[in-house]
């Protein structure tokens, strides 16, 4: 029941993400606001980053079980607001609140893994949590599609409420209440919310996201530069802060830093899933539904490898950390070549090879992720455990936001924002896959550093 409560909360958040993506075309037809279409996702992600960043500190003050229930309560309230939203402005507000609650739930799932399960079970628990995202890529569109098919998109939101109530009951009756830590001046200082640094973090995302929708190179460069300055300033302050966002020492040449770099690049690279359906539609001529469900092969590979690879021995887990980025890099390099082919991959063996590549990309992150997180939980001091656990979701959400913005920047620059011919979209696909594959070369190196530095620490 403890496992069900943890993965259920993650599945709730993940299903909601894909559900809303499915129903949004029907939403704008009903209440308007097409110009603000993307704001639903942008504000949701930014609020998720904030929720994830503060969840660990809030749990130290009021208890992890209470913060879990608080997250579910906020999520339920925001879902009701979304279901009743008369305008796009109200829906964006509701989605922002949902994102904040979702960030709390995702962050607390990792916090409670460390508190509830024995160390030997950490990889399995992380693998189970990670697999929920893959499962949600099927359940979310299915639930959203059923309600929109019959013209009742609002009921897609209402359908989340019984699940939320059930999860709240599981948390209340089956999730143990961890013993409160003894409060000291040091722990009180750690639990102070880093408001200025969180503003820098969200500002960094907003700047890069804004750059991705512009088409003038110098304007893009300015906004990206400002975003990187925000990030640099965040790192400079956080390195010596008494209440850091990342565990102390994560910015030095330590195993923690190598782990965070590897995690960030893997999460960033996974966002190619966003534009792959678009590439399939324009280059290969697939229908939107067919292209969308082909792309779920990546999530299937992620879920399968996370579930079945998490139970291997520590020795094989170390190999998975190193092999995962290599597998993703090779698959993305192959995709760069395949994206230039306009024939031969629409059906038969060509299509099978294409789907296999998507599965391998998902398997790459699914293999490495549980063991990276388990290694992080082992190497940080117990006093930094809550910060390390809650930081996982913050880093993951930030990296995925930057990844989606980077992909959008590449595509918009390659197509000049409007030229969607097969030739220009093929060029956009090529450079998207190549640049992301190059980034994974750095992940391969940082994975190697993770293994060498954890050996030194041992």
Phi, psi of 216 (to 5 degrees): -100, 125
Give domain 244-458's CATH number out of 1.20.1250.20, 1.10.287.130, 1.10.490.20, 2.40.50.100: 1.20.1250.20
CA gap 270, 331 in Å, rounded: 12
pLDDT value of residue 72: 93
Q: Would you give the distance in Å from CA 295 to the centre of its chain? A: 16
pLDDT value of residue 236: 92
CATH fold of 1-193 reads: Growth Hormone; Chain: A; (1.20.1250)
pLDDT value of residue 289: 64
pLDDT value of residue 406: 86
pLDDT value of residue 229: 95
* Ranges in the chain annotated CATH 1.20.1250.20: 1-193, 244-458
DSSP of 198-263: HHHHHHHHHHHHHHHT---HHHHHHHHHHHHHHHHHHHHHHTT-SS-SS-TTTTSSSHHHHHHHHH
The residue ranges of DSSP E strands in 331-438, in sequence order, are none
The three-state secondary structure class of 329 is: helix
Residues of the chain with pLDDT under 70: 1-2, 34-35, 37-38, 60, 175-192, 288-289, 292, 342-346, 417-420, 455-458
pLDDT value of residue 157: 92
pLDDT value of residue 113: 82
pLDDT value of residue 161: 93
């Amino acid at each position: 029941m403890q496992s069900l409560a943890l993965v259920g909360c993650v599945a709730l958040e993940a299903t909601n993400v894909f559900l809303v993506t499915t129903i949004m075309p029907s939403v704008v037809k009903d209440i308007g606001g097409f110009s603000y279409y993307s704001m639903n996702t942008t504000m949701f992600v930014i609020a998720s980053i904030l929720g994830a960043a503060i969840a660990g500190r809030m749990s130290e003050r009021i208890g992890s079980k209470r913060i879990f229930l608080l997250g579910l309560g906020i999520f339920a309230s925001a879902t009701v607001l979304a279901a009743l939203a008369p305008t796009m402005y109200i829906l964006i507000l509701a989605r922002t609140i949902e994102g904040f609650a979702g960030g709390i739930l995702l962050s607390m799932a990792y916090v409670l893994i460390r508190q509830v399960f024995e160390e030997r079970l950490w990889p399995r628990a992380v693998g189970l949590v990670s697999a929920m995202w893959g499962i949600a890529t099927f359940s979310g569109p299915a639930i959203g599609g059923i309600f929109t098919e019959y013209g009742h998109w609002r009921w897609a939101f209402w359908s989340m409420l019984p699940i939320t109530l059930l999860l709240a009951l599981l948390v209340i009756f089956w999730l143990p209440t961890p013993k409160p830590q003894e409060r000291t001046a040091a722990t009180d200082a750690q639990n102070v919310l880093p408001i200025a640094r969180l503003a820098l973090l969200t500002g960094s995302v907003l700047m890069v996201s804004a750059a991705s929708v512009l088409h003038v190179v110098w304007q893009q460069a300015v906004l990206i530069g400002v975003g990187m300055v925000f990030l640099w300033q965040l790192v400079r302050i956080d390195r010596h802060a008494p209440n850091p966002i990342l565990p102390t020492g994560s910015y030095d040449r330590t195993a923690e830093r190598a782990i965070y770099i590897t995690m960030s690049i893997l999460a960033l690279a996974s966002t190619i899933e966003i534009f792959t359906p678009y590439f399939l539609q324009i280059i290969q001529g697939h229908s939107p539904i067919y292209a969308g469900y082909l792309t779920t092969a990546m999530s299937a590979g992620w879920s399968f490898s996370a579930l079945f690879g998490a139970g291997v021995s520590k020795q094989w887990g170390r190999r998975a950390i190193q092999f995962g980025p290599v597998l993703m890099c090779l698959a993305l390099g192959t995709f760069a070549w395949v994206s230039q082919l306009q024939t031969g991959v629409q059906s038969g063996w060509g299509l099978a090879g294409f789907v296999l590549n998507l599965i391998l990309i998902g398997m790459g992150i699914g293999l490495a992720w549980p063991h990276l997180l388990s290694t992080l939980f082992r190497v940080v001091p117990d006093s930094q455990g809550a910060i390390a656990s809650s930081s996982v979701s913050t880093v993951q959400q930030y990296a995925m936001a930057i990844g989606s913005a980077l992909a959008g920047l590449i595509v918009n620059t390659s197509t000049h924002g409007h030229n969607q011919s097969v030739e220009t979209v093929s060029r956009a696909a090529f450079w998207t896959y190549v640049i992301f594959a190059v980034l994974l070369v750095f992940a391969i190196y940082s994975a190697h550093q993770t293994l060498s530095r954890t050996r030194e620490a041992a």
